[in-house]
Amino acid sequence: MFEFPKNFAWGAATSGPQSEGNFKKKHQNVFDYWYAKDPKAFYAGVGPDTASNFYNDYREDIPLMRQAGIKVLRTSIQWSRLIADFEKCSVDEEAVAFYNDMIDTLLENGITPYLNLCHFDMPVELQHKYGGFESKHVTDLFAGYAKRCFELFGDRVDHWFTFNEPKVILDGGYLYQFHYPLKVDGPLAVQVAYNLNLASAKAIAEFRKLYGNDGTKKIGTILNLTPAYAASESKADQAAAEFAELWANKMFLDPAVLGEFPSKLVEILEKDGVLWEATPEELALIKQDTVDLLGINFYHPFRVKAPEISAKSLQDWMPDIYFDNYEMPGRVMNVDKGWEIYPEALYDIALNIRDNYHNIEWFVSENGMGVSREERFMDEHGMVCDDYRIEFLKEHLRALHRGITAGSNCHGYFVWTGIDCWSWQNAYRNRYGLIRDEIHTQTKTLKKSGYWFAKVSAQNGFE
Interacting residues of 383 by C-beta distance below 8 A, sequence separation 6+: 445, 446, 447, 448
Phi-psi region of 250 (alpha: psi -120 to 50; beta: other; left: phi over 0): alpha
- Give, in degrees to the nearest 5, the angle at Cα 66 between 80 and 432: 65
361 a catalytic residue: no
SS3 assignment for the chain: CEECCCCCEEEEECCHHHHCCCCCCCCCEHHHHHHHHCHHHCHHHCCCCCCCCHHHHHHHHHHHHHHCCCCEEEEECCHHHHEEECCCCEECHHHHHHHHHHHHHHHHCCCEEEEECCCCCCEHHHHHHHCHHHCHHHHHHHHHHHHHHHHHHCCCCCEEEEEECHHHHHHHHHHCCCCCCCCCCHHHHHHHHHHHHHHHHHHHHHHHHHHCCCCCCEEEEEEECCCEEECCCCHHHHHHHHHHHHHHHHHHHHHHHHCCCCHHHHHHHHHCCCCCCCCHHHHHHHHHCCCCEEEEECCCCEEEECCCCCCCCCCCCCHHHCCEECCCCCCCEECCCCEECCCHHHHHHHHHHHHHCCCCEEEEEECCCCEECHHHHECCCCCECCHHHHHHHHHHHHHHHHHHHCCCCEEEEEEECCECCCEHHHECCEECCCEEEECCCCEEEECHHHHHHHHHHHHCEEC
366 a catalytic residue: yes
- Out of 134, 245, 366, 374, which one is annotated catalytic? 366
Which amino acid, one-letter code, is at 157?
V
- Out of 134, 165, 242, 245, which one is annotated catalytic? 165
Active site amino acids: 165, 366
